[in-house]
């Protein structure tokens, strides 16, 4: 009987200890010692409206309260994103506006793993196609960021869009000499 109580207690304690152990297992989603260059911003982009006149037959087919002579559909123009590290192109991509009709803002969210060290970073975000980028509320036709960054292990440098300055800026780590 006593032996049973002792063994029962020990088993219960072992189970409790296992619970504590499995509740605190060290883990990292990324065990490598690299640094990260993160490009993340949201811009309104440049909107263009494409309008066309409806034919009399098309107008007649519409309910009376919806009849208009001209219909317009707006869309946001795509931008090209190019990232060079020490002169080598690491990203050359087209960023399209979000939404099924491409009428939502443009979102950039990329991460580039880097060995710790110093890099010359050159980011270009350029309007593709013709649109009125001179409007103060629209995103400039070209956003650029050029700097030399030094990143230690596990550090993250963020290049993002400062909407007030209408320019790409650096946040987080990365020393600009």
* 156 alpha carbon, distance to own chain's centre: 14
Distance between first and last Cα of the chain: 76
Q: Are 71 and 54 in contact (CB under 8 A)?
A: yes
Q: Which 32-51 positions form the footprint of other proteins (CB under 8 A)?
A: 34-36, 38, 40-42
Strand 142-151 versus strand 106-114 pairing type: unpaired
Q: How many residues sit close enough to other proteins to count as binding (CB under 8 A)?
A: 40
**Minimum gap (Å) between residue 106 Cβ and other proteins:** 12
Task: Say whether residue 155 binds other proteins (CB under 8 A).
Answer: yes
Q: Which 6-35 positions form the footprint of other proteins (CB under 8 A)?
A: 7-8, 11-13, 16-17, 19-20, 22-31, 34-35
Q: Are 48 and 77 in contact (CB under 8 A)?
A: yes
Task: Tell me which residue of 110, 87, 122 sits closest to 156, measured CA to CA.
Answer: 110
Task: Tell me which residue of 94, 95, 121 sits closest to 37, measured CA to CA.
Answer: 121
In the complex with other proteins, the residue whose CB is nearer, 29 or 50, is 29
**Minimum gap (Å) between residue 7 Cβ and other proteins:** 6
DSSP 100-152: TTS-S-EEEEEEEEE-SEEEEEEEEEEE-S-----STTSPPSEEEEEEEEEE-
**Minimum gap (Å) between residue 30 Cβ and other proteins:** 6
Point out which span in 78-86, 117-125, 134-142, 152-160 binds other proteins (CB under 8 A): 152-160
- Residues 81-120 vs other proteins: string with x where CB under 8 A? -----------------x-----x--x-x-----------
In the complex with other proteins, the residue whose CB is nearer, 54 or 98, is 98
Q: Where does this chain bind other proteins (CB under 8 A)?
A: 4, 7-8, 11-13, 16-17, 19-20, 22-31, 34-36, 38, 40-42, 98, 104, 107, 109, 154-156, 158, 160-161, 171-173
């Amino acid at each position: 009987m006593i032996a049973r109580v002792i063994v029962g207690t020990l088993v219960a304690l072992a189970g409790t200890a296992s619970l504590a152990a499995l509740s605190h297992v060290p883990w990292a989603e990324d065990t490598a010692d690299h640094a990260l260059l993160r490009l993340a911003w949201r811009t309104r982009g440049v909107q263009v409206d494409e309008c066309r006149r409806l034919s009399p037959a098309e107008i007649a087919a519409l309910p009376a309260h919806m009849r208009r002579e001209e219909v317009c559909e707006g869309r946001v123009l795509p931008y090209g994103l190019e990232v060079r590290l020490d002169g080598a192109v690491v990203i050359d991509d087209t960023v399209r506006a979000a939404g099924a009709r491409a009428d939502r803002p443009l979102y950039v969210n990329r991460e580039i793993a880097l060995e710790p060290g110093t890099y010359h970073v050159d980011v270009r975000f350029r309007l593709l196609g013709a649109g009125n980028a001179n409007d103060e509320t629209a995103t400039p036709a070209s956003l650029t960021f050029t700097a030399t960054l030094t990143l230690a292990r596990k550090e993250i440098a963020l290049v993002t869009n400062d909407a007030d300055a209408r320019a790409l800026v650096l946040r987080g780590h990365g020393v600009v000499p």
